[in-house]
Chains A and B, each alone.
Chain A
Amino acid sequence: GENVEQHPSTLSVQEGDSAVIKCTYSDSASNYFPWYKQELGKRPQLIIDIRSNVGEKKDQRIAVTLNKTAKHFSLHITETQPEDSAVYFCAATYYGNNRLAFGKGNQVVVIP
């Protein structure tokens, strides 16, 4: 079964505000945590990932933070724009796992 849980399932934010999505994982062996974005009718695409040897990673308006002790990691989107409206999927895995299983996804709706 899935080893990651995502909360909340749907998030509505005003344009310009920040959005935060959190994932929790259970397998202590996990050391790679990617986030994928899927726009309506499109394929999922990687937007950012983090490995367990760092606590935070940023790429322009998006960032990911990792708390290994609590086994959760979060996606932060600042200054949200309409094009950020999409479903976001997280995953937790490691080399040799051979299993890239995703959480159930979060629908983010940016209200203009």
Chain B
Amino acid sequence: DTAVSQTPKYLVTQMGNDKSIKCEQNLGHDTMYWYKQDSKKFLKIMFSYNNKELIINETVPNRFSPKSPDKAHLNLHINSLELGDSAVYFCASSPTTDTEAFFGQGTRLTVV
């Protein structure tokens, strides 16, 4: 069974559109994260959630809005997409910050 799953795996869209990426974990973890990985492979943290409450917002533009309907899900909605949003977005979860984090397979977002 997949531990952390993201959908879709690939997303190609035009500038100005709004899109969402879904993430689900079946591990019972309390903590979930979103990361952005750009072309330089830098894995930059965007948001941290604990028990469906937003804990950390790493100065991400407010066009990005995470939503956690329950502890197992953390979705990412992006408004007014820009070229610079093109990247691979990873969702991850862990029991606590100081334990192993499990990553989803990533969503490759391409804005054209």
Q: Which residues of A contact B (CB under 8 A)?
A: 31-32, 34, 36, 38, 43-46, 49, 51, 87, 89, 93-102, 104-105, 107
User: Do residues A99 and B104 form an inter-chain contact, with CB atoms below 8 A?
Assistant: no
A residues within 8 A CB of B104? 43
User: Do residues B48 and A99 form an inter-chain contact, with CB atoms below 8 A?
Assistant: yes
CA distance A94 to B97 in the complex (A): 7
Known A45-B103, A46-B101; contact A100-B94, beta-carbon cutoff 8 A: yes
B interface bracket (residues with beta carbon within 8 Å of A): 20 to 34
B residues within 8 A CB of A87? 41
Q: Which residues of B contact A (CB under 8 A)?
A: 31, 33, 40-43, 45, 48, 50, 55-56, 58, 90, 92, 94, 96-101, 103-106
With both chains docked as a complex, state the minimum distance between the C-beta of A11 and any C-beta of chain B, in angstroms: 14
**What are some 9 contacts across the A-B interface (CB < 8 A)?**
A31-B98, A36-B101, A38-B43, A44-B43, A51-B98, A95-B96, A99-B55, A100-B94, A104-B42
User: Do residues A34 and B97 form an inter-chain contact, with CB atoms below 8 A?
Assistant: no
CA distance A16 to B13 in the complex (A): 45
User: Do residues A93 and B50 form an inter-chain contact, with CB atoms below 8 A?
Assistant: no
User: Do residues A93 and B97 form an inter-chain contact, with CB atoms below 8 A?
Assistant: yes
With both chains docked as a complex, state the minimum distance between the C-beta of A112 and any C-beta of chain B, in angstroms: 22
User: Do residues A100 and B45 form an inter-chain contact, with CB atoms below 8 A?
Assistant: yes
With both chains docked as a complex, state the minimum distance between the C-beta of A8 and any C-beta of chain B, in angstroms: 14
User: Do residues A100 and B48 form an inter-chain contact, with CB atoms below 8 A?
Assistant: yes
A residues within 8 A CB of B97? 32, 93-100
User: Do residues B103 and A44 form an inter-chain contact, with CB atoms below 8 A?
Assistant: yes
User: Do residues B101 and A98 form an inter-chain contact, with CB atoms below 8 A?
Assistant: no
CA distance A98 to B94 in the complex (A): 10
